[in-house]
Structure 1
Amino acid sequence: MKDDRRKQPSLAARLKYLDDAIDLARGRAPESVIEATDALIERAGERLSIAGEHTVVALAGATGSGKSSTLNAVTGTQLATAGVTRPTTSEAMAVSWGTELPAELLDWLGVRRRHLIATGDGALRDLVLLDLPDHDSTEVAHRLTVDRLVEQVDMMVWIVDPQKYADAALHDGYLKPLASHADIMVVVLNQADRLTPDARAAALADLRRLLDSEGLGAVRVLAMSAVTGEGVPEFRAVLEAAARAKAASRMRFAADVTRQAGLLAGELGSGPIPVLDEASLEGVYASMAQAASVPVVVDGVRDAWQHRGALATGWPMVSWVKRLKPDPLKRLRMGLAPTALSPTEVSRTSLPKATSVQRAKLDASVRGVIETATAGLPRGWADRIRAVARGNDARVIDRLDRAVASTDLKMDAGHGWWIVVTILQWLLFAALVAGGVWLLLPALLALAQVPVELPLLLWFGWPAQLVLVAGGVAGGVLVALLSRVFVNAGAAVKARSARRALMTSVTEVADEEIVEPVRAELERLAAAREAVAKAR
């Protein structure tokens, strides 16, 4: 058991965990819980920083319960005015044992009426006993004072009388809400001298039963008569034990932390935290790709590769016609080098804008992610996830266009062989031209009446000039047809590569604008739950 206690975090550590938890939950948990937790941390910090080891015990109760008589009986003085002559002020009164008044502590408590009972190393040394106003007073100021000090004192003693010990105002307003503080509360049945032994035993038994039913089983119950002195020594012994232990303040704040952490834990929920896996995100990525016209760009890459390949490897006699057609990628303003843009121009595409159908699909896929991410989460956190997931709707399409425009489609790589084919085609074209001129040269010389007889050259029995013309035509067409096969195959490869690159760009936008903000909120919730668990 001792080993288990040593493993428990200190009060300072628990307060730090609680502070971390509310920082994580701020803006997501109800503001009332956040404010109450902030107030507790501030109150604990102030109280624990006050010098000295005083224990503050408050005597609280209803009108006529005998709080003031109890204080006089314990102190052996007549400092508190009881009965009908009791002042109507809302101020509490403090009695302190020791060599000097704990002024700093009493100032923090806001108690101006204070008395010192000089004592050396007596059993009640460093005890501060407060006499509070009536918690059922018709004066609002009285009740406010009680409510404030109940949150500040180290130990609570509730003085009840035989007629009103079951009063709902006490049990519902104070005892039940403080069930987590049962270890530092005592209920004293005063005016016991007015009851017969049997009636007293019955009243104590009923009071005990009532407290147990309210989760206050750890609260000590005493019987006392401030008038006859019966039970006063036993009650005084309880105060002496609290003064000697000097642990009431830490026990009080430990109970406060437990209670407040429990309230915060209730707001954070306890169900499993959703996980956004790849399967749940496929719809978003796919719908974003459609909205960003990725299929159009992929088709453009395929067509552009085929267009450029045909220009480079086609037969020069007909490939020039293709130059009259615009480049499919340049028409989309894709794959432009920086030098192709003016110095003040932003890199934009000419892709078709997302249609209403595409936007609707994108919206539906985002809603699907939100539903997955918020399943079983507390309302505050679910609302926050919806806000971060939809907060960038206005700029998502613009960012997608920029991402697509800036994607490296690698259109300048993989076509080195085109140069060889281009040279070969021009050599074949040169052979065609040379053969054609050779064929026409005799006629031209005859027209010019130039008496020159050209030599006859044969190649495998065919005139060389005819071989050059036929070889130039046949070779050019054959090379063009074979090149087209390889160009088309390369176009398919380029299209697949472009799709992967474009999907990477689209995924990055989706992750930055939607997925990562949502995951950050889920991780924040997990961290808040962990901090609360440590604080409890």
Structure 2
Amino acid sequence: MTQLSDGPAPVYRDDVGEIGRKVDGLVAAADAAHGRLPQSVLAAADQLSGRAVERLRLSGEHTIVALAGATGSGKSSLFNALTDLDLAGVGLRRPTTSWALACAWGPDGAQGLLEWMGIPPRHQVSRMSMLDRSSEDTKLDGLVLLDLPDHDSTEVSHHVEMDRLVQYADLIVWVLDPQKYADAAIHDRYLRPMASYNDVSLVVLNQIDRIPYEQRGRAVEDVRRIVAAGGMTDVPVIGVSATRGDGVDDLRRELATRIRARASAKDRLGADIRAAAEQIAAVGGRSNVPGVTEADRDELDRALFDAVGGGQLASAVGASSRRRAVRLTGWPLTRWIGGLRKDPLSELGLEVDERELERSSLPDSIRPQRSAVETSVRVFVEKASVGLERPWRDAVRVASDAAAEGSQVADAVEGAVASTRIDLRGAAWLHLLNALQWLLLATTAGGLGLWLLGLLGMGIPDGPDVSGFGPADGHPLSLVLGVAALVASGVIALGTRLASRFVARSQAARVERELRTAIGQVSAELVVSPVEAELQAYERYRAGVVAALG
């Protein structure tokens, strides 16, 4: 996997603890997934991250407990029993709880938390510790108790208010009554969707005094069975009678235990974070993927090189260079024979001007096979997407589609080919040998000419004095020079014909190297980099999800 780029700054310092690191992970996952996963999937994480930060900033010493239940469940009576104050209207005076009521235990009253939750001041009260006559194991210092609107109210605003405040609670006490404890409304709407919140849930069977004493245990077990069937296993179920006080101390004791542990807030946040992370992971996945390997990059570059006929072009340049080397260094009188053969470059449709060899380049007429280019990019993307869920595969594909389907890659490869130098001038020594071949030709012609002139002079009275050059002399210098120059020219031609193979290989290798380099830059910029950027985003997302899930 490639080097990760920087993600969002951590929300918490390292010393805040595990819950802070989970929030950081959720924030990082949501940030990386924006634009790739549906916003509806990320909405819970976005809302939770801000709420979690604010919750721990305001207070980690209070426990928010919400009483939730249906109309007639005795929820408000239970609220009064726990507070020892007649705060919530009951019976005919208040058939439905239209607004949440809040009671805070402790000297500070948790004012900041209540304002943060949007509880109006007229619905707040502080329960001072000095007024608490409870035993030591049922004292509720640090508790913020909420009496929520009825979940089965016909008023839409009541549903909205309850759904809003349930999100803030560190511990939710679901208050059921003997007549409605199996009602599908509360189980389908709230209990089953919150099956993963076992650690921050509590079920109370209120009005237990209406059940014959010998049947109470069986009723509590029946509630426990129904709740467990909905996924909320190991959730405590307590039978109480708010009006008579039966089981109220047991409930107080359970709440006091949660408060003393100071863990409910973090447990609830942890459950929220886990639920949000699981929701994201269900869509985006969290598998570790291989990503883009060096072999994948090399294969893409090779495919693009083949799509433009890079190997054929390099071979043609090498063959053309060899042809030119032979023509430069061969015997001048027979070079025209080599010119009868067609230049390999011209067979590819490339016309190279012999007078402009020093600035020759592959012309614009060269066109890569665009279908082959698109296929190469598609194969690369498919390999890079192995192991990704559909949203991330789509993100990787979209990142490369603009370049592949928009012909940017093909156009850029074409430009890279067109900018590659041919440069058929050859090495300087070839030009020196060319000059030497003409000098040797002149020497051959001069030597043999003088020798022939000497032969002619011997048979002509009073002819020119050619002593030292004619055959009558023991050492016909002109003949020796002419023959030696001719032999030397042949040796040079033969030697350079062999050497031209190395020249051709060098030129072909240079062209291929420059083509591969240019094509590699195109693929890196237009294909590999966008794909790797998406894979880096996925890795930040995956690492965040793993951290959030703990």
Q: TM-score, normalised by structure 1?
A: 0.85
Tell me the distance in 1 between the aligned counterparts of 2:535 and 2:216: 57
1:360 aligned residue: 371
* Aligned twin of 2:263: 247
Identify if the C-alpha distance between structure 1 residues 337 and 197 changes in structure 2 by more than 3 Å, giving closer, same or farther: farther
Q: 2:127 aligns with which of 110, 117, 123?
A: 117
Q: Quick one: which amino acid aligns to residue 503 of structure 2?
A: G
Given candidates 45, 50, 69, the residue that maps to 2:53 is 45
Aligned equivalents of 1:165, 1:336: Cα separation in 2: 98
Matches of 1:494 and 1:164, distance apart in 2: 90
Cα displacement string for residues 376-405 of structure 1 (whole angstroms, at most 9, x for unaligned residues): 421101101111232212211222133334
Q: What SS does the aligned partner of 2:242 have?
A: coil
Measured after TM superposition, the shift of residue 466 of structure 1 is 4.1
The amino acid that maps onto 2:215 is: A
Q: Which residue of 1 aligns with 2:86?
A: 78
Contact 2:455 2:470 in 1 (8 A): no
Deviates most, 158-167 or 275-284: 275-284
Task: Encode CA deviations 1:252-276: one digit per residue, 9 max, x unaligned.
Answer: 1111112222222222325562455
1:33 to 34, 41, 45: 41
Match of 2:440 in 1: 428
Which residue of the partner structure matches residue 215 of structure 1?
A: 231
The aligned amino acid for 2:234 is A
Mapped contact 1:157–1:188 kept (Cα < 8 A): yes
Separation of aligned partners in 2, 1:90 and 1:168? 22
Aligned counterparts of 1:55 and 1:338: Cα–Cα separation in 2: 85
2:165 & 2:102 partners in 1: Cα distance? 12
| Secondary structure class of the residue paired with 1:488 | helix
What does 1:4-403 align with in structure 2 at a 5 Å threshold? 10-51=18-59, 53-86=61-94, 90-112=98-120, 113-120=123-130, 123-269=139-285, 271=287, 273-277=289-293, 284-319=300-335, 328=345, 331=350, 340=359, 349-354=363-368, 358-393=369-404, 394-403=407-416
- The match for 1:534 is 547
- Matched residue pairs, number? 520
Aligned pair in 2 of structure 1 residues 289, 239: CA closer, same or farther (>3 Å)? same
CA distance in 1, matches of 2:481, 2:465: 20
Q: Distance in 2 between matches of 1:276 and 1:399?
A: 22
Indicate the residue corresponding to 2:9 in structure 1: none
Tell me whether 163-172 or 129-138 shows the greater mean CA deviation. Answer: 163-172
The residue aligned with 1:509 is 522
Is the aligned partner of 1:438 residue 2:450?
Answer: yes
Counterpart residue identity of residue 124, structure 2 = R
CA contact (8 A) 1:334 1:405 kept: no
Cα RMSD (Å) of the superposition? 3.7
CA distance in 1, matches of 2:509, 2:27: 52
Distance in structure 2 (CA, Å) of the matches to 1:175 and 1:137 = 17
Identity fraction in percent: 37
Give the corresponding residue for 2:505: 492
* 1:105 partner amino acid: L
3-state DSSP of counterpart to 1:227 = coil
Separation in structure 2 between the aligned mates of residue 339 and residue 428 of structure 1, nearest angstrom: 27
Question: Greater CA deviation, 65-74 or 314-323?
Answer: 314-323
- The DSSP-based 3-state class of the residue aligned with 2:146 is strand
Cα displacement (A) at 1:425: 1.4
The separation in 1 between residues aligned to 2:483 and 2:108, in whole angstroms, is 123
Higher mean displacement: 42-51 or 230-239: 230-239
User: What is the CA distance between 1:350 and its match in structure 2?
Assistant: 3.1
Residue identity opposite 1:116 in structure 2? S
Deviation at 1:520, TM superposition (A): 4.2
Q: 1:54 to 1:283 in 2, by over 3 A?
A: closer
Rate the CA distance shift 1:337–1:198 in 2: closer, same or farther, 3 A.
Answer: farther
TM-score (norm 2): 0.83
SS at match of 2:238: strand
Pair 1:257–1:250, CA change in 2 (3 A): same
Structure 1 residues without counterparts, runs of 5 or longer: 1-6, 342-346
* Farther off after superposition, 165-174 or 459-468: 459-468
The alpha carbon displacement at 1:117 in A equals 2.5
Equivalence for 2:467: 455
User: Distance in 2 between the 1:337 and 1:36 partners?
Assistant: 68
Q: Does 82-91 or 299-308 show the bigger shift? A: 82-91
